[in-house]
Chains A and B, each alone.
Chain A
């Protein structure tokens, strides 16, 4: 990593807050008061809404934007949401400890004020609790077992929008049977190419390897940039619509040959055939040969009618903390996530695994150190800008919600939502283990020992 990369790329906006939170003995939240501040560097930061997610009946929230000469701000997966979630879910957990009450139960008590995704949270809390073995691992705050290693579990939940941006797709079906799908889209390494190919192949009734996907070039039809977890929503929609258009053109060509009305044809198993009568059909290549010398070229745009926005997720963390050294080890994390219709399970799960690792990093290690005297960024390298190694990550369990209630919503982007909860889930797990809150991320040994009164 060259020093200029981290020096110039920009920083995530910070968020600090003093929070007062009130609730009834049954765990229902009644009031929220926060004085928050943060910086986006030299730019004015838009106010961050607090609390995150909860619609607390009595709320007073102030936010002060602080201008600093620390370089520009830069969007960071799920802009503002991890900060807002942390500043909300940690006080909520502190209140649960004070009641005292299992925080999973307290989330359930507050479903009436938890927004649009409560149905998802209800299912996800149950699944996450089973995968974490929450009931046997959770204990009132502060592990009382002897010895310096204290264990604890924590939970947090989150939402995110997703949706789609404008996306234009071109699908070309050639007389030799080859298929090309072209979009001016980009694969960040998270499976965009795979998703586009799967949607086109499934629409055309072909195996994936029959579809050639062209992306990553501005000569292809314009498709939105990657941001806001909108990529999959955009490209799956435009690809589905355009591939359907192209297929309808192919049906129109083949219909007279088969003596079947075009709207009575289907594409399945690399064949074009009459619905409910496979004897009236042609292999894909035979069907395409009927195009003569002209390819079918269909171009169309995405529609929000076949995608959706708004997802829910629940995450749990289990940690071991050495209370004599302040060193935290992540034992296990569980992420239960919905993203509407999952197009490809492997790449969807990978997104969530990556988000958990990302979350472990910002919760325990990553910190940009600016020298207040010289304005220098002191740790612009992999030696001192710390990231987790394989051994620091622990066991990761990912569960994607599928089936009724999820699939029919259509695809929703997944890049950002699972990065939101790891901070508070890990912080709450540490508090559950050691009995006190480490009130800042990353939870480095100096901060853990300071919270314990040992430094």
Chain B
């Protein structure tokens, strides 16, 4: 780990002022479950670390007319055990429960889950976000790519979005509030994640001097049937191989306005729009959920070692749909 300057402001405004114009100027520290590993491995070498844990305005889960707001510093465990969340959004509880260990859920924050850097082996070994060799050629297509992207992988990005919560939140129509020197802006969470086109870009919409401050799930999302299904090899302390979060409104037994979002299969949480269109207006059956799973992976282009993830994504969609229809089954 390189030396760094440490700051722990008490106010959001001050924290934003301590960030820099370049990514290497400063890093935001909350739970630290990702940042510390990145710094120890010399993947991130910020000149300044800004600890935001003392900023009260980033805390808490609040229910209001607009919906539910989740502060950036809410821990994953707090989210998992919150009664309002549990009542309306089992998909979020399921996604939170899948995160690593109790220790990481307790330390890690919601914003940290959304902002964590990709787990790509090459990125973590110092080859950069796009995993390029000295000539700028990606090491992924001809390398060890069994955990890499099967969708949205036209290049140069092949990593997968590591967030467990993002697919569930996007399926629920959540928005993200971003605060910078000029104030705050709110964008759909789906637009927060970006596929970088060059080595100088990041995998999200933040600028170096901005902080993700809260997530809002709209009140209109209450009453949606929703579920998350993760495929993980180990039962704990393991990254999902593929996940699917679904949310839809039932009109009798007919599905209206379905959202289907895949995780760990693309550089961003992947909205399966063809699958969403296919399911709308139909009554959910096992056969249909299988077809929808099939539609969700249309256009998948597996790399040399990850064809199996197409099957996993397909199954995750099917199982999430069936779980949303029969909560607790």
A residues neighboring B (CB under 8 Å): 3, 324-327, 364-365, 369, 371-374, 376, 378-379, 383-384, 386, 388-389, 391-392, 444-446, 449-450, 454-455
Residue of B nearest to A393 (CB): B235
Contact A369:B311 (CB < 8 A) given known A327-B231, A378-B125, A444-B233 = no
The one of B121, B133, B237, B312 in contact with A325, judged by C-beta atoms closer than 8 angstroms, is B312
B238 at the interface (CB under 8 A from A): yes
Contact A391:B121 (CB < 8 A) given known A445-B231, A449-B308, A455-B310 = no
11 A-B pairs besides A325-B312, A372-B143, A386-B233 with CB distance below 8 A are A324-B311, A373-B139, A378-B121, A384-B119, A389-B234, A389-B236, A391-B235, A445-B231, A445-B233, A445-B241, A455-B308
B306 at the interface (CB under 8 A from A): yes
Contact, CB under 8 Å: B233 / A374: no
The one of A326, A374, A376, A392 in contact with B234, judged by C-beta atoms closer than 8 angstroms, is A392
Contact A445:B236 (CB < 8 A) given known A376-B125, A378-B121 = no
Q: In whole Å, how far is B305's beta carbon from the nearest beta carbon of chain A?
A: 7
Contacts of A3 in B (CB 8 A): 41
B residues neighboring A (CB under 8 Å): 37, 41, 119, 121-122, 125, 127, 133, 139, 142-144, 146, 231-238, 241, 305-312, 315
Residue of B nearest to A379 (CB): B121
Contact A391:B308 (CB < 8 A) given known A373-B139, A378-B122, A445-B231 = no
Contact, CB under 8 Å: B144 / A369: yes
Q: In whole Å, how far is B166's beta carbon from the nearest beta carbon of chain A?
A: 20
Q: In whole Å, how far is A391's beta carbon from the nearest beta carbon of chain B?
A: 4
* CA A3 to CA B125, docked complex, whole Å: 10
Overall SS of chain B's interface: loop
Contacts of A383 in B (CB 8 A): 37, 119
Contact A374:B236 (CB < 8 A) given known A325-B312, A445-B231, A455-B308 = no
Contacts of A364 in B (CB 8 A): 233
Contact, CB under 8 Å: A373 / B311: no
Contacts of B236 in A (CB 8 A): 389, 391
Contacts of B143 in A (CB 8 A): 371-373
Contacts of A389 in B (CB 8 A): 234-237
Contacts of B309 in A (CB 8 A): 446
Contact, CB under 8 Å: A446 / B234: no
Contact, CB under 8 Å: B311 / A454: yes
Residue of A nearest to B312 (CB): A325
